[in-house]
Amino acid sequence: MAGFEVGVSVLVPAAGQGERLGRGPKAFVRVGGRTLLDWTLRAFAWADEVWVALPPGAPEPAARANVRFVPGGSERQESVARLLERARGDVVLVHDAARPFVVPEVVDRLLATVVTAGAVVPVVPVPDTLIEPEDGRYGPALDRGRYTLVQTPQAFFREVLAEAHQLARSEGRTATDEAQLVQALGYPVELVPGDRRMFKVTYPEDLVLAEALARVWEERPL
């Protein structure tokens, strides 16, 4: 990345089965003629190294100069821990393979912030009304303006993330993203604007949106 001098390792947990999608393993599902994983690998062709956690036993995708593979763990956090053991960059970007569309402007924001902050994630507003159901019925509405949805890539000093993972392991704590683990260290995590096009492919209907976006992605007219 232009103007960025420390080494960047990209860590891609891609070992999930994609149960909610019903067509796993999710990283190998195709949109626009490419696997979800391949979309991500193309987006990070500039990185010093990319480490990918694959479902154990999965065939390795075609070789790319900066990409290496490791067998993933049974949980996302374990997959990331295995990737982190291999990473050598001063900065790591952790990115879910389930998010095929990586917006370069967001990556630029993350890299610009991480060099001073050491921990930064992209966020997007909550579009829907947000409630806490009570016994399956409508419960208190939360003020959605006070909440935000967290995306990946998430950027950290490698040593901060390694310490966060070590602490979580020693306390037997799990989290759905890396920022939670870093925050548990008492280390502040900055927020930068994310982008709704970096949505996570989770449910079957997400593939319809992904196919449509894939058709126009190279021109990125949105």
Q: Is 102 in the site for ligand C5P (CB under 6 A)?
A: no
CB closer to ligand C5P out of 76 and 165: 76
> Nearest Cα to 81, choosing from 53, 47, 110?
53
Cα separation, 132 vs 146, whole angstroms? 14
Cα separation, 198 vs 3, whole angstroms? 24
Q: Is 181 in the site for ligand C5P (CB under 6 A)?
A: no
Cα separation, 192 vs 206, whole angstroms? 24
Q: Is 165 in the site for ligand C5P (CB under 6 A)?
A: no
* 35 C-beta neighbours (distance < 10 Å), count: 19
Upstream peptide bond of 25 is cis (omega within 30 degrees of 0): yes
**Piece of the chain touching ligand C5P by CB under 6 A; list 43-51, 69-77, 191-199, 209-217:** 69-77
CB closer to ligand C5P out of 131 and 176: 176
Helices (H), the chain: 36-43, 76-86, 104-117, 158-171, 178-184, 204-216
Total number of residues that touch ligand C5P (CB under 6 A): 18
Residue count of the chain, please give it. Answer: 222
Cα separation, 116 vs 103, whole angstroms? 21
Output the smallest distance, CB 221 to ligand C5P, in A: 27
Which position among 9, 35, 79, 151 is part of the footprint of ligand C5P (CB under 6 A)?
79
CB closer to ligand C5P out of 29 and 117: 29
CB closer to ligand C5P out of 77 and 117: 77
Pick out residues in 199-218 that bind ligand C5P (CB under 6 A).
200, 202
Q: Is 26 in the site for ligand C5P (CB under 6 A)?
A: yes
**Contacting positions for ligand C5P (CB under 6 A):** 13-16, 26-27, 53, 72-76, 79, 96-98, 200, 202
